[in-house]
Amino acid sequence: MNLLIQQTVNGLTLGSIYCLVALGLTLIYGIMEVPNFAHGHLYMVGGYVTFFMMTLYGLNYWVSAIISGIVLAVLGILLERLVFNPMRNSPSSNKFIAAVGAMLFLEASARVLWGSDFRSIPAIYDNVVVMGGVRLTEQRLIIIAGAVILMVALYVFIKHTMIGSTIEAMAQNRDGASLVGIDVNRVAMLTFAVASILASAAASLAGPIFLVYPGMGSLIIMKAFVIIVIGGMGSIPGAVLGSFILGLTESLGATYLSSNYKDVVAFAILVLILSIKPSGLFAKGAR
């Protein structure tokens, strides 16, 4: 029983990290209609920025995470301006290739600049808490709480502020958004900034438990894609639900089947859900 609870908490931790990355991916897909293959690599850069802020400049964990968020917001805006915006009227295959190019560029840059070593963000919250017979490090609780806070903040931003709702408006109807006077370029930059901040937050939260290395982006982007396909491309609730489904099945699958099958379980879930609901759990729907 304890093992079940333990693994459920681990699944929630994993789901929280996935969720922050997948939310950004789905937001960008919603307005650009193009999957941002480089999104996992923004997560990777976020991890490095936090790592260097702490180790090179000796900054506090939270300060480092905030700086990382700011740096990534700028990087996200640059990516939109330099890669996606010039491609806006191109066929989608060109956008795909551009996104893959951006991804390879970021990974190669990381290897050149920082090497291929595995690093770990110094853990400062590694005390073990015992709750109901389950042993957890504080960092895991921080990950879950942090993700929940950011999800609520994103929800409030999009549903209850005029600026935030422009993202949703543009995702639902680009012409309609232009005609009410929304500057679509500004919304595109805003969306990339928000999505990149979420990715960097995910990396800062995960860094003390998982490792920071140039290839970490490729792994998580695969998972994030599975999630937004499960949830329905462009859907925000779909991304949240998909993340926790994937996090929990991976964690429980690894325990009760075999950890070798961890990724197989994830893709089996994908096949299963898509065979029942081909457009995902929350399809964006017809326009």
Partner 1 sequence: MLKLSGINVSYGSYLALQDVNIEVNKGEFVVLLGANGAGKSTLFRTISGLLKVTSGSVEFKGQKTNQLPSFKVVELGISQCLEGRALFSHMPVKQNLLLGAYVRRHDKEGIKKSLAMVYELFPALKDKENALAGSLSGGQQQMAAIGRALMSDPELLLLDEPSIGLAPIVVQQVFDAVKIVNEAGKTVLLAEQNAHLALKVSHRGYVLENGRVVMEGRSDMLAGNEDVKKAYIGVSD
Options 41-49, 65-73, 159-167, 254-262: segment touching partner 1 (CB under 8 A): 159-167
- Judged on CB neighbours under 10 Å (0-12, 13-18, 19+), 128 is exposed
Give the residue, chosen from 124, 134, 184, 283, that forms a contact with partner 1 under the rule CB under 8 A.
Answer: 184
Give the residue, chosen from 60, 109, 173, 259, that forms a contact with partner 1 under the rule CB under 8 A.
Answer: 173
Options 62-70, 168-176, 199-207, 224-232: segment touching partner 1 (CB under 8 A): 168-176
Q: Is 179 in the site for partner 1 (CB under 8 A)?
A: yes
Q: Is 91 in the site for partner 1 (CB under 8 A)?
A: no
| Minimum distance from residue 176 beta carbon to partner 1 (Å) | 4
Q: Return the residue matching tokens 């042993």.
A: 135
Q: Is 283 in the site for partner 1 (CB under 8 A)?
A: no
Q: Is 149 in the site for partner 1 (CB under 8 A)?
A: no
Q: How far apart are CA 44 and CA 68, in angstroms?
A: 11
Q: How far apart are CA 94 and CA 96, in angstroms?
A: 5
Q: Is 180 in the site for partner 1 (CB under 8 A)?
A: yes
Options 1-9, 58-66, 132-140, 177-185: segment touching partner 1 (CB under 8 A): 177-185
Which residues, including other chains, have CB under 8 Å from residue 59's CB and lie 6 or more apart? Answer: 53, 67
Q: Is 156 in the site for partner 1 (CB under 8 A)?
A: no
Q: Return the residue matching tokens 């929350």.
A: 282
Which residues, including other chains, have CB under 8 Å from residue 23's CB and lie 6 or more apart? Answer: 151, 154, 195, 198, 236, 239, 240
Q: Which value, in Å, is the radius of gyration of the alpha carbons in the chain?
A: 19
Q: Enumerate binding residues for partner 1 (CB under 8 A).
A: 162, 165-166, 168-169, 172-173, 175-185, 285, 287
